[in-house]
């Protein structure tokens, strides 16, 4: 049961964060109330802003990544609303959506950005799995 809950929590965070370790890296840059955050986390626009800041995305990259994030968000909303899907199937589909969108995002990034993006993913995964203490705040 604990493993299932941890896995579901990981899928939820991956969905919410959109591939970004927001809590640890941007606490001071959190949007004001009503800007960018919904009941599940960051919307595609806020995700794009975060990725732009963390990865120094070009305007062209932003244009390519935004539809990927919007598509993932729309598919995730559909999954959450589909009560006919079992919890286990929903979880598997969420992970697949996340992995697919991350692959598409990585295809747009240069080598340096890919490396940083992968580090962000690993940090978030470690945090969700309870692997160690939270990183110290950066000043």
Distance of CA 52 to the CA centre of its chain: 13
Return the bridge partners of 42, or none.
37
Residue 119, classed as helix, strand or coil, is: helix
Q: Give the long-range contacts of residues 61-67, CB within 8 A, separation 24 or more.
A: 61/108, 61/109, 64/108, 65/105, 65/108
- For the stretch 6-47, pLDDT in tens is 444 444 444 444 443 333 333 333 333 333 333 346 799 999
Long-range CB pairs of 116-121 (<8 Å, 24+ gap) are 116/54, 116/55, 117/19, 117/51, 117/55, 120/19, 120/20, 120/21, 120/25, 120/54, 121/19
> What is the per-residue pLDDT for 119?
94
Residue-wise pLDDT for 63-79, tens only, equals 999 999 999 999 999 99
* pTM (global) more than 0.75: no
Phi, psi values for residue 37, rounded to 5°: -110, 130
């Amino acid at each position: 049961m604990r493993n299932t809950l941890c896995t579901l929590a990981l899928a939820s965070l991956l969905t919410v964060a959109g591939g970004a370790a927001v809590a640890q890296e941007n606490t001071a840059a959190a949007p004001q109330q009503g800007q960018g955050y919904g009941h599940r986390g960051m919307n595609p626009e806020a995700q794009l802003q975060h990725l732009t800041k963390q990865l120094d995305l070009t305007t062209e990259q932003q244009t390519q990544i935004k539809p990927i994030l919007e598509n993932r968000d729309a598919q995730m909303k559909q999954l959450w609303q589909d009560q006919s899907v079992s919890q286990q199937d929903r979880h598997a589909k969420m992970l697949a959506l996340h992995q697919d969108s991350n692959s598409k995002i990585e295809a747009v990034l240069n080598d340096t950005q890919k490396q940083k993006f992968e580090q962000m993913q690993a940090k978030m995964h470690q945090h969700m799995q309870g692997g160690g203490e939270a990183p110290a705040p950066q000043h």
